[in-house]
Structure formats: C-alpha cells, structure tokens
Amino acid sequence: MTTQQAAYKTTGSYSRAGFYLSVIGGIIIILQGLIAIFFSSIYYAIILSIGVGISILFLGIMLVILGLIVHTSAYSLTQRPEQHVIIGASIIVFSTLALVLGGGYIIGSVMGIIGGIVTIVSRG
C-alpha cells in the first residue's frame, strides 16, 4: 500500500449512532433555514414589513450555514474516526448555536447535541 492510499484509508470505526443523529439533525436544521429563506422571509416581508423579512432571511442563512457545519462535521467523523472527541465537540457547539436560533424546530439541534455527545463518549 502506498502512502497516498494510506492517507485515504480510515483507521478505525466510528460511532454510527452519533453519526446518524448528527446527520439527521444537520439536515433538519438546513431544512428550517431553507424554509425561512424561501417562504417565511417573503411572507413576513409582505405581511409585516421589509425589515422583518430581511431579518428572517438572515436567520435562515445562519441556520443553513450552521446546519452545513453540523452535517459536514458528522461526515468528517467517517473520514477521521480517531478525532471523534474534537468532531463531537464541534457538533455540540454548532448544534447549540443553532438551538439559540431555533434550529431545526428544536428537535434538529437536540439530535445534533445528542449525536455529538454519543460521538465523544464512543470508543469506536
């Protein structure tokens, strides 16, 4: 095996429960962000005021960014399972930030936080 092939090979197993919880939580957070961008912001801009619509648009953009970070952190768990503690901590941090914004209708953020905790305590 060459060194280039060894770089792409994973060196252990990862917590599948933590992975799936984090991925699903990230997807739910992304979906709420997309709904806020494409539907809620337009609705509130028409009904209330343009300022409210713009603030909901920024909220949606932040949720999409946080959801993508949670999702890609969970994916990186499959590539670097030996760094499960750091990856789990980042999943918890960004899921908590999304929770402050109401991320994933609360359940998405809670799933991400639980997935991060499971990822940290798992031994592979």
What lies within 8 Å, CB to CB, of 102 at 6+ separation is: 32
For residue range 31-43, what is the model confidence (pLDDT) as tens digits? Answer: 999 999 999 999 9
Residue type for 57, please? L
Sorted by sequence, the CB contacts under 8 Å of residue 57 that are 6+ apart come out as 36, 37, 41
pTM above 0.85, yes or no: yes
pLDDT tens across the length of the chain (124 residues): 555 544 444 456 889 999 999 999 999 999 999 999 999 999 999 999 999 999 999 999 999 999 999 999 999 999 999 999 999 999 999 999 999 998 889 999 999 999 999 999 997 6
